[in-house]
Structure 1
Amino acid sequence: MTPTRWTTPVVVALLAGVVGLAAAGPLERLGLPLTRLPWTAVVAVLVLAVVTLGLGWPVRQWNRGRRDRPLDPLRAARTVVLGQASALAGSALLGWYVGQVLYLLPEVAYPLQQRSAINLTIAALASAVLLVAGLLVERWCRLPEDDDDAPPPGGLAEPHL
């Protein structure tokens, strides 16, 4: 599995931001208030970030040499996938919320728009936390480099022919 490049979350966030900015006006004119955001959405994103970090921590500890108990390879692989999914979801949500904040900026002097912009900014920050947590867990799950040229412990290296 290849690690997520830094450009992937950036591109996802930019695309989601453009979509969020472009869709906010027409949907608001249709009577769909996209700018209202329940506080539970922010809490759910932060809980997901904490769960992602919590599931990645044992893998990190195992990779750092704390091998009190065996690590299930399937669990480690699922943790990597969760980290990648969290990073991509966090970047998509971050872009979506920032796009909506940009839409609200010209009207931020009005109290309702100002409150919505603040709520969306808080949601964008929570999404950034999820993005960072996902990338961090993915990094924690990376296996150490195998050195095929190193001699086995306690033995001599085989000659190369």
Structure 2
Amino acid sequence: MRRTSPGLLAVLVLLGFAVGFAVDHFLTVSGQATFTPSIFLPVLLVVLAVVVVLLALPVRRSVHGGTRIDPFRALRAATLARASSLLGALLLGFGAGLGTFLWSRPVAPPVGSTVATVAVVVGSIVLIAAALLAEQFCTLPKDPDDREPDDPAE
């Protein structure tokens, strides 16, 4: 399994940004209030970040300590880490899009909306960082006997 590429994360941030900006724009055009994320969303993102790192720690200990761990458990931890980084990138863009729309309006946004939007962006950054760290924990060290398929045999 390959690591999550920064390019994919950047594309997802841009996609989330466009969706977040468009959602607030269409709500405003239709005469409704702008979307304000729940304050529990950033809390949930931080809790998810902690869980992802805690699930990856036994895999790291196994890799560096030599103890045996179930490979399916390691794969689940790595998959959760990757999915969390992708979710964090989408929500980072979405929160940034909501915030950009709010701050681009001629009327000052309410403090509650601003705090909730900034909290979503910060929570998403924490989730991305924790997920990439957990993905690093689940990476096996390069074996000196391994060679690339196109390398000539010695």
Query: Normalised by the shorter chain, which TM-score bucket?
Result: 0.7 to 0.9
Quote the residue 2:112 is aligned against.
Answer: 115
1:77-127, CA deviations, whole angstroms, 9 ceiling, x for partnerless residues? 011100000000000000000001000113486352x43122101111001
Task: Please identify, of 114-123 and 51-60, the stretch whose mean Cα deviation from structure 2 is larger.
Answer: 114-123
> Offset at 1:140?
0.8
SS of residue matched to 2:65? coil
2:98 to 100, 123, 139: 100
> Offset at 1:33?
4.0
Contact 1:97/1:120 (8 A) holds in 2: yes
| Shift in alpha-carbon separation, 1:132–1:147, aligned structure 2, 3 A | same
CA RMSD of aligned residues (A): 2.1
Quote the residue 1:81 is aligned against.
Answer: 79
Quote the residue 1:30 is aligned against.
Answer: 30
State the AA in 2 paired with 1:26. F
> Offset at 1:35?
2.9
Aligned length: 148
Contact 2:17/2:96 (8 A) holds in 1: yes
State the AA in 2 paired with 1:8. L
CA distance in 2, matches of 1:86, 1:95: 14
1:10-36, CA deviations, whole angstroms, 9 ceiling, x for partnerless residues? 111011102211221112333554532
1:138 aligns with 2:146: no
Quote the residue 1:154 is aligned against.
Answer: none
Calculate percent identity across the aligned residue pairs: 34
| TM-score normalised to structure 1 length | 0.83
Structure 2 runs not aligned, ≥5 long: 147-152
CA distance in 1, matches of 2:49, 2:124: 9
CA distance in 1, matches of 2:115, 2:124: 14
1:72 to 61, 70, 77: 70
1:44-103, CA deviations, whole angstroms, 9 ceiling, x for partnerless residues? 111111100110111112122252xx2000000011100000000000000000001000
Contact 2:19/2:97 (8 A) holds in 1: yes
Contact 1:35/1:120 (8 A) holds in 2: no
State the AA in 2 paired with 1:28. T
State the AA in 1 paired with 2:91. L
CA distance in 2, matches of 1:109, 1:66: 60
CA distance in 2, matches of 1:46, 1:5: 22
CA distance in 1, matches of 2:107, 2:133: 38
Structure 1 runs not aligned, ≥5 long: 150-159
